[in-house]
C-alpha cells in the first residue's frame, strides 16, 4: 500500500501535469499544422487528447486545450494565403471539422464527470485500505508485515502489546 501510494504520486504534482499537457499540446499542434491544419489526417489526435485530458486531469483543462488548438489552427490559417481558396473550394470539410471539434466537448464532459479514473481508483483504494487496516488492527493475534528482505514494514496493535510485555 505504501509503495503504491508513493508511486501514484509521481504524476500528481502540478509541475508534471502541466509538463505533460504542454508537451502533448505542442506535439499534437505541430503534427496537425505540419500535415495540413483542418485538412490534416491527424486532426483526430486533438479529439483523443482532449478525451485523455478530461479523463486523467479535468474537464476545464481539456476545454482550455481545445480553445488553444482553435487559436493555433486559426492563426495558421490566417497566415496561409490560400485559406480563402480552401474555404471556397471545400467549405463542407472545414465545417465538418469545426463541428466535430465542438461536438467533442459534451463527450469530454461526460467522461470527466462519470468515469474520472483518478477518483474511481482513489475511492476503491481507500475502501480497500480501510478494510485491510480495520482487520489488521482488530485481530488479537500478533501480525508482523515484512518485505522480501525480511525487514519489518508494519505491526499491528496486538504485536506491539505482546512485544512490550515480553521486555
Count of residues in the chain? 167
**Phi and psi based region of residue 145 (left: phi greater than 0; alpha: psi -120 to 50; beta: remaining):** beta
- The pLDDT-based confidence of 13 (bands split at 50, 70, 90) is low
Task: Please tell me the predicted confidence (pLDDT) of residue 84.
Answer: 66
Q: How far is CA 108 from CA 46, 103, 114, 121, 138, in A?
A: 12, 9, 10, 19, 44
Q: What is the pLDDT of residues 62-120, one digit of tens each?
A: 888 888 888 887 777 777 756 667 677 777 777 777 787 777 778 777 777 776 666 77
- Specify the pTM: 0.53
57 alpha carbon, distance to own chain's centre: 4
Q: What is the dihedral of CA 32, 37, 39, 41, to 10 degrees?
A: 0
Could you give the CA distance from residue 132 to residue 158 in angstroms, rounded to a whole number? 15
Q: How far is CA 46 from CA 68, 70, 107, 123, in A?
A: 11, 10, 13, 30
Task: Please tell me the predicted confidence (pLDDT) of residue 95.
Answer: 75
Task: Please tell me the predicted confidence (pLDDT) of residue 34.
Answer: 81
Task: Please tell me the predicted confidence (pLDDT) of residue 166.
Answer: 56
Examine the pLDDT at 5 and tell me if it is beyond 50.
no
Task: Please tell me the predicted confidence (pLDDT) of residue 45.
Answer: 81
Lowest mean pLDDT among 8-17, 28-37, 39-48, 53-62: 8-17
Amino acid at each position: 500500500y505504501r509503495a503504491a501510494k508513493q508511486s501514484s504520486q509521481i504524476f500528481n504534482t502540478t509541475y508534471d501535469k502541466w509538463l505533460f499537457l504542454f508537451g502533448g499540446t505542442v506535439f499534437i499542434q505541430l503534427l496537425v499544422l505540419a500535415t495540413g491544419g483542418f485538412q490534416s489526417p491527424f486532426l483526430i489526435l486533438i479529439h483523443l487528447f482532449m478525451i485523455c485530458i478530461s479523463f486523467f486531469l479535468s474537464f476545464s483543462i481539456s476545454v482550455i486545450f481545445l480553445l488553444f488548438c482553435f487559436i493555433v489552427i486559426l492563426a495558421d490559417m490566417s497566415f496561409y494565403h490560400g485559406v480563402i481558396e480552401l474555404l471556397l473550394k471545400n467549405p463542407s470539410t472545414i465545417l465538418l471539422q469545426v463541428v466535430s471539434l465542438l461536438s467533442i466537448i459534451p463527450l469530454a464532459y461526460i467522461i470527466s464527470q462519470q468515469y474520472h479514473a483518478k477518483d474511481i481508483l482513489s475511492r476503491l483504494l481507500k475502501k480497500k485500505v480501510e478494510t485491510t487496516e480495520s482487520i489488521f488492527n482488530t485481530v488479537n493475534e500478533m501480525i508482523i508485515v515484512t518485505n522480501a528482505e525480511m525487514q519489518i514494514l508494519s505491526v499491528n496493535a496486538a504485536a506491539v502489546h505482546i512485544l512490550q510485555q515480553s521486555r
